[in-house]
Amino acid sequence: MRIDPARSTVRFCATHALGLGPVEGTLAVVEGEVDVERQTAWAVLDATSFSTGNPRRDKDIKDKRFLDVARFPTIRFDGTAPAGGDGQRRVTGTLTVRDVTRPVTLEVVAARPIDGGQIVRATGTIDRRVFGVVAGRGLIRPRLTVTIDVYAVS
């Protein structure tokens, strides 16, 4: 099934290292596909759409010290296989950020049919350092919680 970008989003939450509270934001989904039966998926995200609601912070994160969206305008996930076996639904695959590809595992926490399609929610924790995003040490903790909500249609 094809992912409908207008109804899909990626949300993230980073924790401020000094305990000042979470920083939440979104990224737009550009395109992708989901196969619920095989628990595989791929998706392309628009890194230039990074938004926390704070224009100054968003500009900093889009700059070359963090996402470098001028050189790397997209982020890609390729879910290649189901994982687990302990009753949980997981998808393993690769995430490419700043032209660095690393393995990730996402937990599928919800998948249900709706209006001739499927709504799928997956979550995971990503360590930004393994993708070369190391700026902000001492201000931003290295791990981000990511929640992906996609609406896929046949």
Beta strands 117-127; 100-114: pairing state: antiparallel
Mean pLDDT, the chain, integer: 90
Separation CA 125–CA 148 (nearest Å) = 11
Residue 88 above 80 pLDDT?
A: no
What are the Cα distances from residue 100, in Å, to 12, 69, 110, 129?
A: 19, 14, 29, 11
The confidence band for 85, taking pLDDT boundaries of 50, 70 and 90, is low
- The residue type found at 93 is G
| pLDDT above 90: percentage of residues in the chain | 68
Tell me the percentage of the chain whose pLDDT exceeds 70. 93
Find out whether 58 and 49 touch, Cβ atoms under 8 Å: no
Binned at pLDDT 50, 70 and 90, residue 87 comes out as low
pLDDT digits (tens, 9 = 90+) for 94-126: 999 999 999 999 998 988 998 889 999 999 999
pLDDT of 19 reads 66
What band does 48 get if pLDDT is binned at 50, 70 and 90?
very high
